Amino acid sequence: MNDSLKNLSPLDGRYQNKTKQTREIFSEHALIKERIRVEIQWLNYFLTHFKPELLSEHVKKKINALDKDISDTLIERVKEIESVTNHDVKAVELAVAEQFEESEEIQSLVHIFLTSEDVNSLSYALILKNAHIVLTEWIEQIISALEDLVEKNKEVAMLARTHGQPASPTTLGKELNVFATRLKKEKSSLSEKKFFAKWGGATANYNPHLLAYPEEDWVNHSKDFLSNLGVELTKVATQIEPHDYMADLFQNIQRINNIMLDLTQDIWSYIAFDYFSLKMKNNEVGSSTMPHKINPIDFENAEGNLGLSNAILNHLTHKLTVSRLQRDLSDSTVLRNIGTGYGYLEIAVSSTLLGLSKLEANTSEISKDLDERYELLAEALQSFLRLEGKKDGYDQVKKLSRGMKMDKDTYLKAVEELIENEDYKEILKGLTPKKYLGIANKLAEQDDEI
C-alpha cells in the first residue's frame, strides 16, 4: 500500500504536490535548519566582539562552512539528541557544540546568554521572511491573471446584480478589476511588514550579559546582530517575543484570503449564469452520473481551502498574542502550525490560478441578459425627473418598473410622458441598457483613481 494514503493531513497526502513551497519553508527540517543557523550566527558574533582571540582561521572556516551548508546529517543529529533531551532547542545547541570538539572553550560559548525563545523568535522571523517572498509572488500571480481577464473583458457590457437582483449595468472587466485592485492594496500592505525577534535572555532583561560585561550596550548589540539578518529587535518583552507582528501579518493574509473567497464565489455565480464557460479537459469527469457536466471545481476547491487557511490564521492571531505572565508554553505547539495556514493558501492559489486560466467569457449569454431589460434604466429616468424638480419622480418610475420587466416601447413612452425637458428627453431616448455603463470601462483600467 502507498504509505501516503495513511497521512493524517491532506497537505502531505492528496495535496503534497500542491504544497511544495510551503513544506520547504515551514517543515520541521526547515525550522531546525534556521535554529542551527541562528546558533552559528550568534556564536560568530559573540566571538568576534567578545572573544576574538578564540576566532582562529580554523574556527572561522568551520563557522562559515556550517553557515553555508547545514547538512541533513546535522539536522538528523539534532533529532537524535532531542529523543534524549526532550528539548528541541537544547538539542540544537548540543549538536552545534559537537561540531567544535577540538575546543571546549568554543563549545562552552554556543548558546551563550541565550534562552530558547531567543533562538525560536529569530528562527520563526527568518522563516516568515522566507515565506513572505513566496506569499508576495502568489498574490502577484493572482493579480496578473485577473488583469489579463480584465483587459479581455473591459468593454463587455453586463447586467449587474445587487441583492442578487438585476441592477444598473456594468462591464465584466470592471467587476473583475475590483478584485485586482483590492489585492493590490493588500499586497502594498504586505510590502511594509517588518519581522521581529527578542534577544535579551531568560526574561529579556539581559541579566547575565550585564554582569559579565557591564560596560557594553546590549540593546545595541542585539539590534546590530538582528539587523544583519533583516530582523528588528523587540526591545521590551517577556521571555517571549509577543507575536504582535505575526498577528498583524496573519490578519493581512486573512484579508487577502477573504478577497479571494469573494472572487471565487462571484466567479462560481458567473459560471452558473453562463457568463463564463470553462475550457474542457477531455479526461476529467464532472459527475459520476451526469456526463454533460463541467463543474467549477477549481473555484470550489479554492473556497474550501481559503476557509481552512483563515481558520488557522485566525486562531494564531488570537492565541499567539496572549501568554500568562512571563510566558507559558502553549505558543510553542501553536507556532508549529503556521505552515498549515500557508499550506492551505498555497493550494487555494494554485486552484484559483488554474480556474482563472480555464475561463472564457460567454459574451452572447451576457449580452442576452441585457437585451430588452429597459427597467435597468429606471435609475436614469428617476434621476432626470429629480433634476426637473419633481419630488415624486422616484415614485412615478417605481410604479412603472418595480418587480417588472420593461421593454423599449414602454420605456420610451415613459420618457415621453414623464420628462418635460427636451434635452433630457433626447439623452434618455438615445439610451440603451448596453450604453448605460457610466465610467465602468475606465474603472476596468484603473486602480483607485480616474
- Catalytic residues, by residue number, are 163, 287
Burial 63-102 (b: 16+ CB within 10 A, else e): beebeeebeeebbebbeebbeeeeebbbbbbbbbbebbee
Question: β-strand 276-278 against 359-361: which pairing, if any?
Answer: antiparallel
Report the alpha-carbon distance of residue 244 to residue 223 in Å, rounded.
18
CB 230 within 8 A of CB 223: no
Cα dihedral 436→439→442→446 (10° resolution): -130
Q: Is 124:335 a contact under the CB 8 Å cutoff?
A: yes
Burial class (CB in 10 A: 0-12, 13-18, 19+), 353: middle
Residues 157-177 as b/e (b if ≥16 CB within 10 A, e otherwise) read: bbbbeeeeebebbbbbbbbbb
Cα end-to-end distance, the chain, whole Å: 60
- For residue 32, count CB atoms less than 10 angstroms from its CB and return exposed for 0-12, middle for 13-18, buried for 19 or more: buried
Do 37 and 63 form a contact (C-beta atoms < 8 A)? no
For CA atoms 332, 333, 336, 338, the dihedral sign is negative
**Helix ranges, 192-329 (H):** 207-212, 218-227, 244-272, 297-320
Contact between 26 and 127 under an 8 Å Cβ cutoff? The reply is yes
What phi and psi values does residue 232 have, to the nearest 5 degrees?
Answer: -90, 155
SS3 state at 233: strand
The helix (H) or strand (E) run that includes residue 94 is helix 88-98
| β 276-278/232-233 pair status | unpaired
Q: How far apart are CA 71 and CA 149, in angstroms?
A: 45
CA–CA gap between residue 138 and residue 159 (Å, rounded): 31
Phi then psi for residue 287, to 5 deg, are -155, 145
Nine-digit cell at 262?
A: 469573494
Q: How far apart are CA 347 and CA 16, in angstroms?
A: 10
